[in-house]
Amino acid sequence: MIEASKAAEPSSQPTKRGRRAWLIALAVVVAVATIASLATAPKPEPVKVSLIRAAGAPGHKVLILEATNGTARPIQLSIGVCTGATHPAKTGGGRPMAHNGMSVEVAGRTTSLYSLLQPPKDTPYYVAWEFRPVWTPATRWERCRMACQKFFLAHGMPAPAEHFAPARHVGHISSTDIKE
């Protein structure tokens, strides 16, 4: 009986060593996976519009803006200086009315500069911008959506046409963020 217990004793040692090795290996894998997931850089915004500066020219002041398209596809970008104290998205209103603005197609992976006239000194304003991907329908459903959008626009119904358009992304820069 004593011999049987001695024979069972050495066999339990390799099992403990094996478990310890597996636990150490598992801990190393978990540590490496955690470090790798925390080390990934934050994803940059696909499209970014930022104010470079407000410059004074003889007789008027201009805002110089930089637009960066980080996507691979072209986008339709609209930028405008809107008069009013706050952005309509904050007050629940609709689209802002631009004091002056422009709409341009920006190629993929490019950065470009734009200038807009600044309103008179005591007028509250903000710079609003929006972009949409340039729409080239690839499937039957996308062609149907485009046809519906064109139909509603041709018949003077922009609100229903908006539901069939590609998603628009909006942003704004408040006049308090603009340093002269």
Are residues 94 and 171 both part of a single domain? yes
Provide the domain count of the chain: 2
Note the pLDDT tens digit of each residue in 52-98.
888 876 777 888 899 999 988 899 999 998 887 666 555 445 556 66
- pLDDT tens column, 157-177: 999 998 898 888 888 888 877
67 and 12, same structural domain? no
Please indicate, yes or no, whether residues 164 and 99 belong to a single structural domain of this protein.
yes
Q: Write out the residue range of the structural domain in which residue 87 sits.
A: 47-177
| Statement to judge: residues 55 and 25 lie in one domain | no
Side by side, which strands form the sheet with 125-133? 98-106, 75-83, 125-133, 169-174
* Co-location of 59 and 27 in the same domain: no
Name the residue among 70, 155, 136 with its Cα closest to residue 108: 70
Same domain, 6 and 61: no
Residue 4 has φ and ψ, to the nearest 5°, of -65, -40
Q: Verify that 82 and 125 share a domain, yes or no.
A: yes
Residues 165 and 149 in one domain: yes
